[in-house]
Amino acid sequence: MTDQMQQPIIQLTPREMDVLRLLCSGVHSDGGLAVALSISEHTAHYHIGQLEAKIAVSSRVQLVAYALLHGLVSDVEWQGDGDQVA
C-alpha cells in the first residue's frame, strides 16, 4: 500500500462502533438507532455527527461506505428500519 492510500488510524468508541454496525445493517434513522441502542434520538444524532467528523465524511452513506471499505464492520445482517430514499 502506498503512503497516499494509507488512512490514518481512527479511534472510535465502543458506542460509535455500535452505531456504525447498525448503519451498515440498514438502520439509518435517528429514531431507529435510538430504539436499537436504548438512547434518545438526539444522542443518536450526536453519535452520527461525531462519526462524520472523525472519519471526515458528510453523510451516513459515506460512513457506511468507509466502514465497509476499511473493514471496520463484518458479518452485518440487514435490519432496515423502513427508511425510504427519495
pTM of the model: 0.77
18-45 mean pLDDT: 95
The span from the CA of 25 to the CA of 42, in Å, is 20
pLDDT at 52 > cutoff 80: yes
User: 72-81 pLDDT, tens per residue?
Assistant: 887 665 555 5
Closest by alpha carbon to 21, among 53, 67, 65, 56? Answer: 67
Confidence (pLDDT) at 71: 86
The span from the CA of 11 to the CA of 8, in Å, is 10
What's the whole-number average pLDDT of the chain? 84
Instruction: Cell numbers for 48, please give them.
Output: 452520527
Residues 10/62, Cβ–Cβ less than 8 Å: no
Residues 16/51, Cβ–Cβ less than 8 Å: yes
What are the chain's domains? 14-69 (1.10.10.10)
